[in-house]
Amino acid sequence: KRRERNITSLLRERLPQRHVNLLEQAGALGDTLGVPVYAVGGFVRDLLLGRTNLDLDIVVESDGIAFARELARALKGRVRAHTKFKTAVVIFSNESGEEERIDVATARLEYYEYPAALPTVELSSIKMDLFRRDFTINAQAVQLNKGHFGRLIDFFGAQRDMKDKVLRVLHSLSFVEDPTRILRAIRFEKRFDFQIGQQTTRLIKNALQLELIEKLSGRRIFHELEAVLKETNPLNCLHRMDELDVLRRISPHLRITPTKNQVLEELENVIKWYRLLYLDDSPEPWMLYLLGLLMGCAYPEVKEVARRLSLSRRQEEDLQDVRELSHKCLGLLQQWVAGERTMSGLYCILSPMRTEGLLYLMARTKTDDIRRHISYYLTHLRKISLDIGGDDLRNMGADPSPVYARVLSRVLGAKLDGNVPTRKEQLEFAFSILAEETAKAHDQHRHRGRA
Ligand code: ATP
């Protein structure tokens, strides 16, 4: 017989007070409405593993949408309901004025279809809800009603699996039901430093043999791949995917060669370095790692992979552009380091490139000198801006025209090289360029007049 465990003290220890209050409030509302209420999924898992996760998922054994409406009223928030799935999101502002959300789902027996080949067994609705989930560790619940507050519900042996650090599915058809769970398994295994269990590994291999990955839609694969690449150490996941032959089944072009591996490792370091800088843009992990994974591929092969992942036209163009530009840049940078090495020259080479491309270049180059200069561009150079603008040119009597951009970019070049540090000097330099441009225009005009 299962031993009951109550984790109230863990909840109080590990969660911010306002979250404990929230859980109690949800439980009290359940009592008022006479329905069992549970916190479920990743929230419970992370609580037990001692990891922060403030995404609250609630399941009620009754009409989840009605419950969400009442909860929203109590929290002075609003509800977005999905009638088809009988789920709702409660959106409200916390004391700090930040927006928070709670997902509420309905657990009701009649909405669930049993996987065809499983024996039908009578399950309570919370048990059925948990049974549809991916892994035992994700299939735990904590009851929130007052009399049972903190009661841990673990029907499938998650406690033991967490102790053994094993990732297990709940039944043998799990991957057939949803092959994206293969990628989820790899992601959780690496994130928590667990092992995918023996039987579960066999089930993955079976599913792969049935070519279930090949049958997945591009969108679903890309969605899971994106989640993988957002992990702290995605390369571990990619290696595991390669080892299990998942990468090849998504596309043979994605296989990891030793050359790619070197760049991917550098890439992971560069990305971590960049994140530590807390600059105001956050590069897209999917693009960064696809750049690495597609190294050495030709245009049509990249196109093939883009198709397989159902990338949008925009995403595909961005990817191809960065690839093309990074080839050019690397050549230009090699010339630059051998030449006069002006900052304006460096700026000129690197400014057309997206952050993803610059980080990729840093990972790819074998020259420390180049890497250092790209890093200098990212952290300093690209933040430098002029102290003058179009208005100043207008005040000099120049009509708005493409000449503006030319003049301003030359002044910026001069500022980057340290020649016109102050606004006054920039104005003077702009004036002299304008005068030069006007004289040139006159000349051309006269020339054309004569001809
Ligand atoms: P993360 O920390 O990555 O957000 P999570 O477990 O919260 O992890 P979600 O993708 O938000 O992940 O899913 C929430 C819960 O829904 C999971 O804990 C799991 O119980 C269930 N779930 C999500 N995706 C699946 C799936 N493909 N198959 C079965 N259950 C799933």
ipTM of the complex model: 0.97
Which one of 138, 171, 231 would you pick to mutate in the ligand 1 pocket, going by the greatest count of ligand atoms within 8 A of its CB?
Answer: 138
Which residue from 45, 128, 134, 142 has its CB within 8 A of the most atoms of ligand 1, so it is best to mutate? 134
- Residue 215 alpha carbon to ligand 1 centre in Å: 21
Range of the domain at 373: 254-383
Of 163, 186, 201, the residue that ends a domain is 163
Distance 203 CA to ligand 1 centre (A): 19
Non-local CB neighbours of 197 within 8 Å, separated by 6+ positions: 161, 166, 167, 168
Each residue's pLDDT tens digit, 214-257: 999 999 999 999 999 999 999 999 999 999 999 999 999 999 99
Decide: 363 and 292 in contact? Cβ < 8 Å: yes
Question: In the predicted model, is pLDDT for residue 430 greater than 70?
Answer: yes
The answer on 96 and 34 residing in a single domain is yes
Same domain for 19 and 142, yes or no, is yes
Clarify whether residues 237 and 342 are in a common domain. Answer: no
Region 371-380 average pLDDT: 96
From the CA of 40, how far away is ligand 1's center (Å)? Answer: 10
Q: What is the pLDDT of residues 153-209, one digit of tens each?
A: 999 999 999 999 999 999 999 999 999 999 999 999 999 999 999 999 999 999 999
In angstroms, what is the span from residue 371 Cα to ligand 1's centroid?
A: 39
Is residue 10 located within the same domain as residue 157?
yes
- 130 CA: nearest ligand 1 atom: 20
pLDDT at 290: 97
Q: Are residues 144 and 12 in the same domain?
A: yes
State the average pLDDT for the chain.
93
Q: Give the pLDDT of residue 443.
A: 85
Name the residue of 46, 54, 59, 133 to mutate for ligand 1: max ligand atoms within 8 A of Cβ.
Answer: 133
pLDDT of residue 439: 84
Residue whose Cα lies nearest atom 2 of ligand 1: it is: 42
Q: What is the CATH number of the domain that holds 66?
A: 3.30.460.10
Whose CA is closest to atom 5 on ligand 1? 42
Q: Ligand 1: distance of its center to the CA of 288 in Å?
A: 25
pLDDT of residue 210 exceeding 80, the answer is yes
Q: Are residues 157 and 272 in the same domain?
A: no
For 377-400, what is each residue's pLDDT tens digit? 999 999 999 999 989 999 998 888
Last residue of a domain, one of 383, 405, 420: 383
My answer on whether 45 and 149 are in the same domain is yes
The reported pLDDT for the residue numbered 112 is 56
The pLDDT tens digits of the residues spanning 293-321 come to: 999 999 999 999 999 999 999 999 999 99
- CB under 6 Å to ligand 1: residues? 41-42, 55, 133-134, 138, 178, 180-181, 184
Both 134 and 12 in one domain: the answer is yes
Please tell me the predicted confidence (pLDDT) of residue 447. Answer: 78
User: Are 220 and 352 found together in one domain?
Assistant: no
Looking at the 3D structure of the chain, how many domains does it have? 4
Share of the chain above pLDDT 90, in %: 83
| pLDDT of 326 higher than 60 | yes
Residues 150 and 169 in one domain: no
- Are 262 and 411 found together in one domain? no
- 210 lies in the same domain as 264: no
- Predicted local confidence at residue 441, as pLDDT: 80
Ligand 1 center to residue 220 CA distance, Å? Answer: 14
383, 404, 421 - which closes a domain: 383
How many beta carbons lie within 10 A of that of residue 252, not counting itself?
A: 11
Which atom of ligand 1 is least distant from the CA of 227? Answer: 3
pLDDT tens per residue, range 91-148: 999 888 899 999 999 987 665 565 555 555 555 689 989 999 999 999 999 999 999 9
- Residue 379 sits in a domain whose CATH number is 1.10.3090.10
